[in-house]
Amino acid sequence: MDQDSYSDKQIIDILSLRHVAVIGMSKHSSKAAHYVPKYLIDNGYVVTPVNPTTDKILDICCFNSISEINYPVDIIDVFRPSDQISSIIHECIEKKPKVIWLQEGIHDFESEELARKNGIIVVFNRCMLSEHQRLKL
């Protein structure tokens, strides 16, 4: 699977944004959807979990959906299967983040194009933790 074509400088600029909502954040510490957001928190990011199956993750209140968050977020980080991305992107567009970040293995070209047409940067098939470490931020 391809990934977006952003330069390291552009990824550094994106990773300088600090308010991240994580769709599909997991309460299970062995899953990437848990340890990636935990890493972000440990590195100074403000993380908002979005998971309708639990009330709290890492002692942070969870929201059932992105639309329930009543404050701005810079990045919406998505840990959901590619076949769910279309409906997620539509909901994200309403939230108006600066960036939608689709984790490794997640890609939906048509939905990503729709987000871009709405002025949202879309990063796909990359891991925020991996990129943060690779770029030594």
The confidence score (pLDDT) of residue 40 equals 98
The confidence score (pLDDT) of residue 1 equals 64
- Annotated domain spans of the chain: 8-134
The confidence score (pLDDT) of residue 3 equals 87
The confidence score (pLDDT) of residue 2 equals 85
Please work out, in degrees rounded to the nearest 5, the angle formed at the alpha carbon of residue 68 by the alpha carbons of 44 and 49.
35
CATH topology of domain 8-134: Rossmann fold (3.40.50)
137 residues of the chain, pLDDT tens digit each: 688 999 999 999 999 999 999 999 999 999 999 999 999 999 999 999 999 999 999 999 999 999 999 999 999 999 999 999 999 999 999 999 999 999 999 989 999 999 999 999 999 999 999 999 999 99
The confidence score (pLDDT) of residue 26 equals 97
- Tell me what the pLDDT averaged over the chain comes to: 96
Burial of 117 per CB tally in 10 Å (0-12, 13-18, 19+)? exposed
